[in-house]
């Protein structure tokens, strides 16, 4: 059962819940109560900060200190969560709420005062922190996520109910993307992924079109067809369209890489960590979830997702190094490495998406290991036309998902020159691999169309221990960045 989120009201000191969450900031290493905890402080004789200090609290980010209340307040447990030493802003509240939600696993009903600082951030952090992927666990998990959390709004917050509704929808979209990424590749393959995307879309009133392997071959989609031909699980191309209502402000094309498993193909990957290539459809998951979200929240922007799906396998029917593929739209590509498969399926999808003449085209993919070499595991690389690129990088930072603008150096194009075809799929030199992939994609974007490529190889899949509102596995990045961009476009064009 996913955690239920509700708008809280009344005096938190008198709430009949199992636990109350308050925020604590660090000031010169000592804990100070964050705004929102006044009634609780009074119930502890006005010296709750002193009590917390005795209990070892410092207020450092994500620190969780448990105080048995022994009747001082109605709830038996007070959970003090650290906001860090900086300003108690949305990012701090989101992270603290995530840490609190994780610490509350096994609890039935909690109340959070962090919504008094930032309701949307508290709601998102709580839902995402409480997220657990349990579909493949047998027996009842000893660590069931917190059952229900009531989030208190600030007294002055008149739009609280609406803010909670939107934040809940956004966080749920992130969990939809996480679920898709976390579903193992024996169950999530092109056909089943297309079906799940279609089901999610139909339920939200989004138009669906699915091209199967026959339609793809007949339609001239040489990239998706070539990459997908080595697997008995045949490729698909899914198109989801949200109309934007009666008067859409702009038209946005979203494209996401949907490799349901990437072995590397004939240019096979080493065995170590190959299991992580179950996450090679993180871009596809994010654009599917975002498009469905746009429909659910009736965003006045027309959004069309174009999602190529394939499994990259080595076999006697697999495409080979040396093959030349004719992509959708007619350009030819010499395959020098079958492990650079993402850009091949994306080339088809980008050309198809651009045919609709959108105002913006945003593509996202787990495209290169080089992304992690350049920026680490938590910062996406954002490339493309300058204005849109910088706008997206700004949203990536503001949402806390992380992202940084990177260049597309023109000189790299010559490194992609092919002996036989219009372009090769990899460069001989390994330097700037993330940028070279972006330069390859740029070749398939029509002149004059504002576009961006977000490389999420690291940020979309977390392999370390949990932190903030992020658990191991699919993170749902960049759903919130895409959503921030779409709402920005709805408001500002
Ligand atoms: N899916 C991988 C990129 C990747 C690597 C994502 C690690 C997440 C974690 C992609 O298809 C790939 O294999 N890229 C190659 C490109 C190379 C052959 C030019 C890479 O990064 O090694
Ligand atoms: Mn690959
Ligand atoms: Zn891949």
The residue whose CA has the least distance to atom 6 of ligand 1 is 457
Clarify whether residues 108 and 221 are in a common domain: no
Peptide bond before 478: cis, by omega within 30 degrees of 0?
yes
Clarify whether residues 76 and 196 are in a common domain: no
Choosing from 258, 369, 455 the residue with most ligand 1 atoms within 8 A of its CB, the one to mutate for a pocket test is: 369
Average pLDDT over residues 308-315: 99
Q: How confident is the model at residue 143 (pLDDT cuts 50, 70, 90)?
A: confident
40 CA distance to ligand 2 centroid (A)? Answer: 53
Average pLDDT over residues 383-388: 99
Clarify whether residues 187 and 135 are in a common domain: no
CATH number of the domain encompassing residue 355: 3.40.630.10
* 276 Cα nearest atom in ligand 1: 9
Q: What rounded mean pLDDT belongs to the chain?
A: 98
Are residues 25 and 85 in contact, defined by beta-carbon separation less than 8 angstroms?
Answer: yes
Ligand closest to 366 (CA) is 1
Q: Does position 260 have pLDDT exceeding 80, yes or no? A: yes
Clarify whether residues 146 and 175 are in a common domain: no
Clarify whether residues 140 and 197 are in a common domain: no
pLDDT tens string 438-457: 999 999 999 999 999 999 99
pLDDT tens string 20-79: 999 999 999 899 999 999 999 999 999 999 999 999 999 999 999 999 999 999 999 999
Q: Decide if 156 is inside a domain.
A: no
Domain boundary among 116, 151, 186: 151
Residue 269: active-site member = yes
Residues in the chain: 493
- Please check if 257 is assigned to a binding site: yes
Q: Decide if 413 is inside a domain.
A: yes
Clarify whether residues 465 and 317 are in a common domain: yes
Average pLDDT over residues 377-391: 99
Among residues 60, 249, 250, 269, the one annotated as catalytic is 269
Q: Decide if 137 is inside a domain.
A: yes
Provide the Cα torsion 215, 217, 222, 225; round to 10°: 80
Clarify whether residues 416 and 455 are in a common domain: yes
Choosing from 319, 368, 434 the residue with most ligand 1 atoms within 8 A of its CB, the one to mutate for a pocket test is: 368
- Please check if 341 is assigned to a binding site: yes
454 CA distance to ligand 2 centroid (A)? Answer: 16
| 337 touches ligand 1 (CB under 6 Å) | yes
Residue 352: active-site member = no
| 265 touches ligand 1 (CB under 6 Å) | no
Q: How confident is the model at residue 1 (pLDDT cuts 50, 70, 90)?
A: confident
Using H for helix, E for strand and C for coil, what is the string for 278-342?
HHCCHHHHHHHHHHHHHHHCCCCCEEEEEEEEEEECCCCCCCCCCCEEECCCCCEEECCCCCCCH
pLDDT tens string 96-124: 999 999 999 999 999 999 999 999 999 99
- Report residues near ion ligand 2: CB below 5 Å: 262, 339, 341
**How many domains does the chain divide into?**
2
* 368 Cα nearest atom in ligand 1: 21
Q: Decide if 310 is inside a domain.
A: yes
Clarify whether residues 138 and 183 are in a common domain: no
Q: Decide if 262 is inside a domain.
A: yes
CATH number of the domain encompassing residue 69: 3.40.220.10
Partnered with residue 470 across adjacent β-strands are 467
Q: How confident is the model at residue 140 (pLDDT cuts 50, 70, 90)?
A: low
Q: Decide if 243 is inside a domain.
A: yes
The residue whose CA has the least distance to atom 5 of ligand 1 is 369
| 455 touches ligand 1 (CB under 6 Å) | no
The residue whose CA has the least distance to atom 3 of ligand 1 is 368
Average pLDDT over residues 404-412: 98
d(CA 108, CA 148): 6
| Percent of the chain that is helix, strand, coil (3-state, to 5) | 35, 20, 45
Domain that holds residue 47: 4-151
Q: How confident is the model at residue 141 (pLDDT cuts 50, 70, 90)?
A: low
Ligand closest to 308 (CA) is 3
Partnered with residue 239 across adjacent β-strands are 209, 306
* Phi, psi of 403, rounded to the nearest 5 degrees: 180, 150
Domain boundary among 122, 151, 180: 151
| 153 touches ligand 1 (CB under 6 Å) | no
Clarify whether residues 126 and 177 are in a common domain: no
Among residues 102, 343, 352, 391, the one annotated as catalytic is 343
Q: What is the pTM of this model?
A: 0.98
Clarify whether residues 255 and 325 are in a common domain: yes
Residue 139 has a pLDDT of 77
Clarify whether residues 144 and 178 are in a common domain: no
Q: Decide if 165 is inside a domain.
A: no
Clarify whether residues 175 and 140 are in a common domain: no
Contacts of 406 (CB under 8 A, 6+ apart): 374, 375, 381, 382, 383, 434, 435, 438
Strands (E) across 8-127 are located at 19-27, 30-33, 64-68, 77-84, 109-112
| 323 touches ligand 1 (CB under 6 Å) | no
Q: Decide if 45 is inside a domain.
A: yes
Residue 316 has a pLDDT of 98
169 CA distance to ligand 3 centroid (A)? Answer: 29
* 425 Cα nearest atom in ligand 1: 19
**Closest of 433, 217, 429, 415 to residue 342, by C-alpha:** 433
Domain boundary among 118, 151, 184: 151
């Amino acid at each position: 059962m996913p955690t239920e989120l509700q708008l809280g009201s009344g005096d938190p000191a008198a709430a009949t819940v199992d636990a109350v969450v308050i925020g604590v900031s660090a000031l010169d290493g000592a804990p100070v109560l964050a705004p929102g905890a006044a009634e609780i402080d009074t119930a502890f004789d006005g010296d709750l900060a002193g009590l917390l200090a005795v209990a070892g609290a410092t207020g450092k980010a994500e620190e969780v200190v448990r105080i048995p209340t022994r009747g001082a307040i109605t709830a038996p447990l007070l959970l003090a969560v650290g906001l860090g030493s900086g300003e108690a802003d949305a990012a701090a509240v989101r992270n603290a709420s995530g840490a609190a939600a994780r610490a509350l696993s096994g609890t039935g009903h909690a109340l959070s005062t962090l919504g008094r600082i930032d309701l949307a951030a508290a709601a998102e952090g709580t839902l995402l922190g409480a997220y657990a992927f349990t579909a493949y666990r047998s027996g009842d998990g000893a660590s069931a996520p917190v059952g229900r959390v009531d989030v208190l709004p600030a007294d002055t917050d008149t739009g609280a109910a609406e803010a909670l509704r939107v934040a809940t929808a956004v966080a749920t979209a992130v969990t939809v993307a996480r679920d898709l990424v976390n579903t193992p590749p024996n169950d999530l393959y092109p056909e089943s992924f297309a079906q799940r995307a279609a089901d999610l879309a139909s339920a939200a009133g989004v138009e669906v079109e699915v091209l199967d392997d026959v339609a793809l071959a007949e339609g001239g989609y040489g990239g998706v067809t070539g990459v997908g031909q080595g697997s008995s699980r045949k490729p698909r191309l899914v198109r989801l369209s949200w109309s934007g209502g009666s008067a859409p402000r702009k038209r946005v094309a979203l494209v996401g890489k949907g490799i349901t498993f990437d072995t590397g193909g004939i240019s096979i990957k080493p065995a170590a960590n190959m299991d992580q290539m179950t996450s090679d459809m993180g871009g596809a998951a994010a654009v599917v979830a975002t498009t469905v979200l746009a429909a659910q929240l009736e965003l006045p922007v027309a959004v069309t997702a174009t999602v190529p799906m394939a499994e990259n396998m080595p076999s006697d029917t697999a495409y080979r190094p040396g093959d030349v593929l004719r992509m959708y739209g007619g350009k030819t590509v010499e395959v020098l490495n079958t492990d650079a498969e993402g850009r091949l399926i994306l080339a088809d999808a980008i050309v198809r998406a651009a045919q609709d003449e959108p105002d913006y085209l945003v593509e996202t993919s787990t495209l290169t290991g080089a992304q992690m070499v350049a920026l680490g595991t938590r910062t996406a690389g954002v490339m493309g036309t300058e204005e849109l690129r910088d706008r997206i990088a700004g949203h990536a930072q503001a949402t806390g998902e992380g992202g940084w603008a990177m260049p597309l150096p023109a000189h790299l194009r010559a490194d992609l020159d092919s002996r036989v075809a219009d372009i090769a799929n990899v460069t001989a030199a390994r330097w700037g691999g993330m940028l070279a992939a972006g330069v390859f994609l740029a070749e398939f974007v029509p002149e004059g169309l504002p576009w961006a490529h977000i490389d999420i190889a690291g940020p979309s899949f977390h392999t370390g221990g949990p932190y903030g509102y992020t658990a191991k596995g699919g993170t749902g990045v960049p759903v919130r960045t895409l959503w921030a961009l779409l709402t920005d476009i709805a408001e500002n064009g």
